[in-house]
């Protein structure tokens, strides 16, 4: 992806394009940091804890029929989805490839 960003910076030279590419590059670096963290032992433990929290909230929802657990489930799923950055990185890569065609 970094090669694609370098090529794009050479081709798209307007100030606006450069700003957009810098933003994309920062986003990609942030996502890459998250991916590396989530692939580590600590990240794997975090995923396991989140899955456990999800199923605990689901069990409580079934047991109590208390609507607040629906909010808990949504929050946990949103957090898990934010940590799953591989698709976001693929989307950035695809965007750059499309622009460089």
Q: What is the pLDDT of residues 16-66, one digit of tens each?
A: 999 999 999 999 999 999 999 999 999 999 999 999 999 999 999 999 999
DSSP letter string, 50-101 = HHHHHHHHHHHHHHH--THHHHHHHHHHHHHHHH--HHHHHHHHHHHHHHT-
- pLDDT score recorded for residue 2: 86
- pLDDT score recorded for residue 84: 87
- pLDDT score recorded for residue 101: 84
- pLDDT score recorded for residue 45: 96
- pLDDT score recorded for residue 48: 95
Residues in the chain: 101
As given in the structure block, the two tokens for residue 54 are: 């999800």
Q: What is the pLDDT of residues 53-101, one digit of tens each?
A: 999 999 999 999 998 999 999 999 999 998 989 999 999 999 999 999 8
- pLDDT score recorded for residue 24: 95
Task: Say how far residue 52 (Cα) sits from the centre of its chain.
Answer: 20
C-beta contacts of 25-33 below 8 A and 24+ residues apart: 27/92, 28/1, 28/89, 28/92, 31/85, 31/88, 31/89, 31/92, 32/85, 32/89
């Amino acid at each position: 992806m970094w090669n694609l960003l370098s090529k794009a910076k050479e081709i798209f030279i307007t100030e606006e394009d450069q700003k957009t590419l810098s933003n994309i590059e920062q986003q990609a670096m942030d996502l890459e940091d998250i991916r590396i963290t989530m692939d580590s032992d600590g990240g794997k433990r975090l995923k396991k804890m989140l899955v456990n929290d999800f199923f605990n909230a689901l069990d409580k929802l079934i047991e109590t029929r208390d609507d607040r657990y629906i909010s808990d489930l949504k929050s946990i799923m949103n957090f898990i989805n934010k940590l799953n950055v591989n698709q976001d990185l693929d989307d950035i890569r695809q965007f750059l490839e499309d622009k460089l065609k």
